[in-house]
Amino acid sequence: MTDTPGATIRDLGTLDGPVLLFGGPYGNRHALDALLAEAARRGIPSGRTICTGDLAAYAADPEGVAERLRAAGTPIVMGNVEESLGFAADDCACGFTDGSTCSVLAARWYRYAEQVVCDGTKAWMRDLPRRIDFTLGGARFAVIHGGVSEINRFVFPATPRDAKAAELDTAGTDAVVGGHSGLPFNEIVGGRLWHNPGVIGLPANDGTPRVWYSLLTPERDGIAIEIRALTYDHAAAAAAIRRVDLPGDYADALETGLWPSDDVMPDGDRARRGIAIKASRIVWQPGKSVAAAAE
């Protein structure tokens, strides 16, 4: 395993699985604690618990989230928020349209994060890798934040397949694990895999307070990919938001399961607002264009 501070790519080498993947803690310490407890219950060590970035955002304790993951030694990809905080940017560079609801609310939570994340943590964020590679079940994976080509690129379920194919070409791997969009999904593109495990800091706009992570397990017939729901004390997390200088819209979102705005989404994904997501399991065989699925 190599881990060079400030390196563009961190290579974890060959992992023996299972691997737990999650994205976007977003300052939600209550959700992170539940996620780490789940990993411990399953006996998955921190070296096989990988985060797609964005430790800070909508919830109240970005410093606490960073401290926990840093202490655990969890492999973390630099998200646009870590890049912005680490290099003292003027905004989060989330990719929101200027003047949109998401952009207006982001200006508030980013100022809060700037104030509560300490200088030492910001320096640590500057040295996070922009990509993490590993091999599992004979397949090569690249973990990135948004897109392979751009850190803040949104890749949603409804993003065109040819756009995903181009990103996979850029990665040069069998699979890409991405974050940033906030929605869990799998898509097989010409035998290669685009996988998003979802985020734990905010519900998936599906009308439930659940958050999402995934498990990858090598099996004889391929790699089992489970997208799993996580329940946690969302009421406590919402109360924590309301106690500090953050938009109450996100406290509401933790309780209702609906985002304050979904204007960043493609139409196909926006149409699924409020429709509860189901946990899923597929078995992916690298190079094959169809995956076996089961409840």
Place of tokens 């181009």: 166
- Residue 7: predicted pLDDT: 58
Q: Per-residue pLDDT for 210 more than 60?
A: yes
Task: State in words which class domain 9-294 has.
Answer: alpha beta
User: What pLDDT is recorded for position 97?
Assistant: 77
The contacts of residue 177 (CB under 8 Å, 6+ apart) are 21, 50, 52, 141, 142, 143, 144, 195, 196, 197
Contact 48/21 with Cβ under 8 angstroms? Answer: no
Q: For the chain, how far is it from start to end, CA to CA, in angstroms?
A: 35
pLDDT band at 118 (very low <50, low <70, confident <90, very high): very high
Residue 227: per-residue pLDDT: 98
Share of the chain above pLDDT 90, in %: 85
pLDDT the model gives residue 6: 43
- Mean of pLDDT values over 46-59: 97
Residues paired with 19 in a beta bridge: 216
Kindly calculate the radius of gyration of the chain based on its CA atoms and give it in whole angstroms.
17
pLDDT exceeds cutoff 50 at 1: no
Mean pLDDT, the chain, whole residue set: 94
The ranges assigned to domains in the chain are 9-294
Q: For residue range 148-157, what is the model confidence (pLDDT) as tens digits?
A: 989 999 999 9
The string of pLDDT tens digits covering residues 180-209 is 999 999 999 999 999 999 999 999 999 999
Per residue in 221-272, pLDDT tens?
999 999 999 999 999 999 999 999 898 999 999 999 999 988 889 999 999 9
Rounded Cα–Cα distance for residues 253 and 205 (Å)? 8
